[in-house]
Copies of this chain bind each other. A is one copy, B any other.
Amino acid sequence: MKYLFFLTMTLFAAPGFAGNHPTHEDVARRLLSAGMKDGEAYSLLKELTTEAPHRLSGSKGAEIAVQVTARQMTQRGFANVHTESVVVPRWVRGLVERAQVMTSGDAPPLDLSVCALGRSIGTAKGGIIAGVVEVHSFEELKALGEKAKGKIIFYNRPMDPELPNTFAAYVGAVDQRSRGAIEAAKAGGVAAIVRSMTLALDDVPHTGAMGYQDSVPEVPAAAISTIGANTVSHILAEDPESQVTLELSCETMPDVESANVVGELRGSERPNEIIVVGGHLDAWDKGSGAHDDGSGCVQAIEVLNLLKKAGITPKRTIRAVMFMNEENGTRGARAYPVAPERKGEVHIAAIESDRGGFAPRGISVQGDSTVVERVKTWQPLFELLNAGRIEEGYGGVDIQPLASQGVPAFGLDPENHRYFDYHHSDNDTIDKVNPRELQMGAIVEALLCYLISEDGL
C-alpha cells in the first residue's frame, strides 16, 4: 500500500496537470483521493462550531463566525477573500424561557421544555397564564370560533412519519410554526405554542423562524418538545380546563451590520464567469449549528481546498460564499446579487448545501430541462462517489435570489432521515456529524463545480 501510494502520487501529483489533460473520471478520482486522505471538512467544522457555536445573525457569535471562515479561507490561500456588508435583524432570546402546564385540580404544575420561536415578541414579566386549545390545522382553529378567544393556541399536528423524505414532512407541518402566531391572534388567542418540528420523540424543543403580519396583533410564540406536546395533549384530553403559563424574555433589537464572507479560486480562462458554492453562516442559538448549516459552510470552503490540493486551476471562477442571515431574514442571500462587487460578473451556476452533513446521495437540480439533462450526462461520474441520484428539485434558500435571475441552482442532496432530529435544537452538535459523510458531500460539490467550470452548462 505504501508503495502504491507513492506511485500514485508520482504519476498524478503534478499541480495543474502539466501532462495530458485529465479526463473527468481522473478528476473525480483525484478529488476522492485528496478528500478522503487529507480531507479538512471536519476539522474546519470543529473550528467553526468551537469558536462560534452560537452565531445567530447580529450576535457576537456571528461576528466571530465571519472572522473564523475568512481566516480559514485566507489560511488556505484562496483568492479575493473578503467580506461583503449585510445589514441584519437582531433577535435575542434573553434569559427567561418558561412554560408550565397546570391542571384544574391541585396537582403541582408540570414544567415543559420550551424555547421561543425566532422573531417572537416576549411576554410581560411573570408570563401569560391562560387556558389552552389544541388544534391540528388553521381550519380546525377557525372552526373553534369563540372558544379560541383568550386562549393559548397549541398546534400539535406532527410531521407526517409516513413520508420517506423528511423534508416533505417538514414542509407539511411547518406552517404551524411560521404562521401559527398570526392565525392564533386572528382567532383571538393570546399566544401560540407549537409542537417541535421533528420526527424524533424526545424532550428537546426545536426553534425556527416565525412571522407576524401587519394589522394582526403580535402574540408570543414558542415550541415545546414532542414529548411535551404529547403530555399536554393527554392532559387536555383529561382536563380541558388546564392552563399553561408561558414566559419569554426574547426581543428584537435594532438591525446591525454583519457580512457575507467570500473567497475564490480565480478562473484561468473566464474569470468573470462565476460558480457559487455556499452555505449559510448564521445558525440558531441552539446546539452549535453543526448540520444546519455549519456543514454547508465548511463544505464550500473544502470544495476550493480540494480543487487546489488536486492541482486544478478552473477555467471559470469558483467562489465559496458564506451567506449571513438565512434563518431569520435571508438578508445575506438578497444582498449578494446586488452587491457592488457583482459588477461585471456573470453567474453561471449556484450550488448550496443546506440539508445537513449526511452521506450525499446526489444533486437536486433547479433549472430548465436542458440543464437537468446536461447534469444527468455526468451521472456516472457522481456514481463513482456513490452519489448518482441526479433529479430535478430545489437548490437552496440562499441561492434563490440568483435562481430567480435564471442562474441554474443546485442543492446537495444527502440522506435525510436524521436531519430533523437535530435541526434548530440543542441536538445539532458536531458529534452528530460523521467525518466521512461530511467530507463526501464536499467531494461531490467539488466535482460538480469542476464539471461546470470545465464544460459549462
Contact = CB atoms under 8 A, between A and B. Distances in A.
A385 B440 contact: no
B36 A165 contact: no
Interface stretch (A156-164, A238-246, A334-342): A156-164
Interface string A182-212: 0000000000000000010000000000000
A177 to B, nearest CB: 16
Given A359-B415, A385-B164, A136 B437 contact: no
A2 interface: yes
A270 interface: no
Given A1-B136, A1-B137, 16 more contacts: A1-B157, A1-B158, A1-B160, A2-B136, A33-B162, A161-B436, A164-B384, A164-B385, A164-B386, A165-B386, A359-B415, A415-B415, A417-B436, A418-B436, A418-B437, A421-B434
9 contacts: A1-B136, A36-B161, A36-B163, A37-B161, A161-B436, A164-B386, A359-B415, A415-B415, A417-B437
Max count, chain B CB within 10 A of own CB: residue among A162, A163, A421: A162
Contacts of A158: 1
A361 interface: yes
A453 to B, nearest CB: 22
Interface residues of A, number: 30
Contacts of A32: 162, 164
Nearest to A158: B1
Q: Is the interface of A mostly helix, strand, loop or mixed?
A: loop
Contacts of A421: 434
Closest 10 CB pairs of A and B: A36-B161, A36-B162, A164-B386, A417-B436, A417-B437, A359-B415, A33-B162, A359-B417, A1-B136, A1-B157
B162 A37 contact: yes
Contacts of A434: 417-418, 421
B199 A436 contact: yes
Given A359-B415, A434-B418, A440 B162 contact: no
Interface in A421-449: 421, 434, 436-437, 440
Nearest to A169: B36
A218 to B, nearest CB: 27
Nearest to A384: B164
Contacts of A415: 359, 415
Contacts of A37: 161-162
Max count, chain B CB within 10 A of own CB: residue among A1, A2, A157, A417: A417
A417 B199 CA distance: 23
Contacts of A36: 161-163
Interface in A79-102: none
Contacts of A384: 164
Given A359-B417, A361-B361, A440 B136 contact: no
Interface in A137-196: 137, 157-158, 160-165
Contacts of A163: 36
Nearest to A201: B435
Nearest to A34: B162
A160 B2 CA distance: 11
Nearest to A388: B389
Contacts of A165: 386
Contact of A440 (B160, B359, B417): B417
Max count, chain B CB within 10 A of own CB: residue among A157, A199, A361, A386: A386
